[in-house]
Structure 1
Amino acid sequence: MFSRALTASLLLLAGCQRDSGVKPATPDAGQAVKAPDPDPLAIDCVKGVPQPGRVTIFPTPDFIEIRSISYPLGGADARLVGNREAAVGQACQKATNKDLCLSALDRLAVTRGFNEQCEEDCDAYFLAATRGDTVAAVTTVEMLGSLLGTIDTAQEAALMVFAAGYNPCSRGTQVEPRGAPPVVTARPEGFDGFEVIGYTGHGSVRHTVRVSTAGEVAVVKREVDEKGSP
């Protein structure tokens, strides 16, 4: 029942639904990145995660927030509210019963999230959103793609890459200088979408990830910084 109710809430927020997800790189995908680089676009990051702003969602939510959660390997035994990392908008701004909406938002909880990184325990994230009286949680890259619709801004592409498990807000020691602003490459030649640099392995592995306007996510290049992050 909860799953069906959550899906319905997500569809109310998004106004549409489509498939989205991570796809493996094709054998010749790496050749495409050899084209001349277009001008890079900076993305906004807060506390090491992409800011959920500069997105075009219709109808527009009143509020979007990224929350972090930690749980044992395999998933949480109980639902977790999470720590608030980055937010835009005013929560429950257009709710008919603002107190009830805010209470639901405060108690909004999940057992798993996207960008899941596990060792002995798992760290992950989810997105909380409100529009009118609706409060919803987004916990997978597919759900995020449904919410965002067409990926037509660099920030949306960065959010999709982050949800898929790559961090565009961190840097390795040799791949990029520490303190360099995160960038995405917009509209590579011959590709309808964005190219994002994302990291895994504590910033030691650099991935070139392409996000199509349809929301498909694919890694086209992988580089290892043997020194890792400091």
Structure 2
Amino acid sequence: MHPSRLRLLFARTLRASLVTPLVLTGGGGIAAASDKPPAPREATRQKQDKKTPAKGPTGYVLPACDDDGLAVSGLKPAEPSDFVQLRRIDRYPHGGKKLKDTATSSSGTACATATHPEECKSALEHLDPSRGFRERCEPMCVSYYLALTRGDEVAAYTSFEALKRYLGSIDTAPEAVLLAFANGLDVTCDSLEQGAVKTLRDGSFQVVGTQGHTCWEESSLYQVTLKVTAKAELTEVRRTLLKPRDPNCGVGRRPDGLHAAGNVDCDSALGRHFAQAAHLEAASIRAFLRLREELARHGANEALCDAALASAVDEVRHTEESTRLARRFGALPPRLQVEEPPARSLFEVALENTVEGCTRETYGALVAHHQALHARDEDIRGVMSRIAEDETRHAELSWAIDRWAHERLSEPERASLRRARRQAVETLREELAQPRDADLVAQAGLPTPEVAASFLSALERELWA
């Protein structure tokens, strides 16, 4: 796509939602013919969740963890093993091939009591299950399994039911946490609000974690408490809203490994919005720095690498501006947590670029221009005018990377990218259908669900088809 085509598409799309004619500025940006922003359309006030915001639970402790995830050193299975390892499988979506199989934690000595240790170690090294338990695709597919050795036996436990059989009676907190994790509960290692465990008097356990995400398919992030009995029975005890869906989630490039943001304690919808925006802008810094390194590793030209670095510098300014606005409305951005993934293939880089750049960031750039034209708050309008131009360049970079990568990928890989883009568009459509707070529409200039749907349809028709 030629850069001017994207800007012209933005101008046509915005013109359809405005009474005031649009003109292209000398710098290639988009502006209204009048300095006075048009009155926004009638806003739909978002329903307030009636549940009490969650807090860190009392009487709980953090789960046992190794550097890369939940520890397995506290497991006491029905039949003891010499060695056990929690492993993560990364694979292409839509039934695609496996990319990586990496250990996240381990306990014991591999093949310690094997009759033929070398054969045992070779069998352990060559375990090759295609899938594991708690598979999730966002957009790459990730699942987990247990690998173990017991005498000459080498085994992989790849399903939830197989894991239950291996553990037997749930006697320890690490077993309860692992079972809850395998059942789909996200458990962090450094925040009681999003990862905790407690032993009850009857010998059962309660595990606290999270489900959902404010910026992916789910509409909200919830703190969930599960009771885990000795018989491996799981019962949901409590579900409390941690954070509602983030209306800004379409903006910004989210890096692989980004953790869900913590709760923003602020009464102002504008404060919460810009605190979450600052969190995503900070995450985008990491995303572009990583992108530059990966482009260089895969032989991209200097222009693409330099543009990725310049985009990271832009995101520093965006983070500062969004943080300032958040503070103005009484909020602070959540702490940023991003796991560093191993080196990725060109297809993996292209897949993230398709979802985060060509889809979400492109839509986000269009929304930023809409805010620059519609926001009643003069300060917000000025910030979004600057951000909109930067985000448009970032979207143009995404499409340039897309063209470069397509020439180097196989036809099956290009087909996988097309399917991933269609899925990303549908996910975005579901998110945009949610009502917005009236202040976010009026003061921050965010589009109503109706206008957002028209934007998405225009991009789908003229860009993503």
The TM-score normalised by the length of structure 1 is 0.71
Query: What are the within-5 Å matches in structure 2 for residues 127-206 of structure 1?
Result: 127-169=146-188, 176=193, 182-187=195-200, 193-201=204-212, 204-206=221-223
Write the distance in 2 (CA, Å) between the matches of 1:76 and 1:136: 24
How far did residue 38 of structure 1 move?
8.2
How far did residue 176 of structure 1 move?
2.8
Secondary structure of 1:206's match?
A: strand
Write the distance in 2 (CA, Å) between the matches of 1:116 and 1:47: 21
Write the distance in 2 (CA, Å) between the matches of 1:208 and 1:41: 13
The runs of at least 4 consecutive aligned structure 1 residues that moved more than 6 Å come to: none
Secondary structure of 2:118's match?
A: helix
For 1:61, which of 81, 87, 107 is the aligned residue? Answer: 81
Equivalent AA in structure 2 for residue 55 of structure 1: L
Equivalent AA in structure 1 for residue 208 of structure 2: I
Equivalent AA in structure 2 for residue 136 of structure 1: A
How far did residue 48 of structure 1 move?
4.9
The question of whether the paired residues in 2 share the 8 Å contact of 1:39 and 1:186 is answered with no
Distance verdict in 2 for CA 1:109–1:192, change over 3 Å: same
Q: Corresponding residue for 2:142?
A: 123
Query: What are the within-5 Å matches in structure 2 for residues 89-104 of structure 1?
Result: 89-104=108-123
Secondary structure of 2:136's match?
A: strand
CA-atom RMSD in angstroms: 2.6
For 1:70, which of 84, 90, 105 is the aligned residue? Answer: 90
How far did residue 69 of structure 1 move?
0.8
Distance verdict in 2 for CA 1:170–1:55, change over 3 Å: closer
How far did residue 68 of structure 1 move?
0.7
Distance verdict in 2 for CA 1:123–1:133, change over 3 Å: same
Write the distance in 1 (CA, Å) between the matches of 2:124 and 2:138: 29
Q: Which structure: greater strand fraction?
A: 1
- Gaps of at least 5 residues in structure 1 are 1-36
Q: Corresponding residue for 1:221?
A: 238
For 1:106, which of 116, 125, 128 is the aligned residue? Answer: 125
Write the distance in 2 (CA, Å) between the matches of 1:107 and 1:158: 28
Write the distance in 1 (CA, Å) between the matches of 2:119 and 2:226: 40
Write the distance in 1 (CA, Å) between the matches of 2:88 and 2:116: 27
Equivalent AA in structure 1 for residue 120 of structure 2: C
- Gaps of at least 5 residues in structure 2 are 1-56, 215-220, 247-259, 262-335, 337-465
Write the distance in 1 (CA, Å) between the matches of 2:239 and 2:136: 18
Write the distance in 2 (CA, Å) between the matches of 1:75 and 1:218: 31
Q: Corresponding residue for 1:34?
A: none
How far did residue 183 of structure 1 move?
2.6
Secondary structure of 2:112's match?
A: coil
Q: Which has the higher contact order (CA 8 A, sep 6+)?
A: 1
The question of whether the paired residues in 1 share the 8 Å contact of 2:193 and 2:208 is answered with no
The TM-score normalised by the length of structure 2 is 0.37
Write the distance in 2 (CA, Å) between the matches of 1:108 and 1:117: 21
Q: Structure 1, residues 5-63: CA drift from partner, whole Å, max 9, x if none?
A: xxxxxxxxxxxxxxxxxxxxxxxxxxxxxxxx884344211245321111222431000
The question of whether the paired residues in 1 share the 8 Å contact of 2:111 and 2:121 is answered with yes
Distance verdict in 2 for CA 1:161–1:134, change over 3 Å: same
Secondary structure of 1:145's match?
A: helix
Write the distance in 1 (CA, Å) between the matches of 2:222 and 2:135: 16
Distance verdict in 2 for CA 1:106–1:76, change over 3 Å: farther
For 1:85, which of 101, 104, 107 is the aligned residue? Answer: 104
